[in-house]
Amino acid sequence: MKTLRGLRSWDVQSAVLFKDKNIVALNKPSGLSVHPGPRVKNHVLEYLETLKNEFSERPQLIHRLDKDTSGILLLSTHKKAARLFAQYFHDGFVKKIYWAIAVGRPELCQGRVIAPIQYLPTQKGYYRLSVVRHRKGQKMSVTDYQQLAFSSDCCLLELSPITGHKHQLRVHASQILRCPILGDSKYGSAPVTSRQTPLHLHAKQITVKSYYGMGRDLIVTAPLPNYFTNTIIREGLYN
């Protein structure tokens, strides 16, 4: 799938990975915002009208992805499904797996990151999410990780967020694992090559345990964007 960089439209129908009477799973491209905003020209919500005729209501977001993160985005097709999936997320019945290409390598090939994250002021006068020293009563952010492959410059990581803090994977990769995600200028990544590259963070798989529409686990997988696959090939990151 092409990214939205340089494009003004998105074919939602071709991005559908799974749909039934309760949910729709889309493969969101990098560069497309989920919500509207003051400087947002394209966002997911404006494209959902094309799906409205298939359901009694316009699909609504169940969760969100960062603008530059690609991959699976779930939407509910009615209010009952939205409430049910909110409960699924709350009870830990939804497992998300991301793939990331990171600059460098973590010290350990696999493990769990447990660290609190909060906004801190920067020297330029704005606020940035950062890992902070734990204080009593402060919520932890938790990420499981596994190194799938590596080269001299970078590695392919599988990341599973146990909690859902904003920018959690990007902050944990950069500040705890010391291998920032390729293309992540916000949290200190430098490109492997001299040219600019998009954020190499992809929501690859979502598993919904005991999904009520099927009576069994629902597993949805999103194919990698072309730029991500090209980096894997170029860097020899075969797992």
Residues marked as catalytic: 66
Q: Cα separation of 181 and 171, whole Å?
A: 9
Q: Is 231 helix (H, G, I), strand (E, B) or coil?
A: helix
Give the number of other CB atoms < 10 A from CB of residue 215.
7
Q: Cα separation of 29 and 41, whole Å?
A: 15
Query: 177 CB contacts (<8 Å, ≥6 apart)?
Result: 102, 106, 107, 113, 145
Q: Which two tokens stand for residue 99?
A: 């793939």
Q: Are 157 and 104 in contact (CB under 8 A)?
A: no
Running DSSP on this structure, what letter comes out for residue 79? H
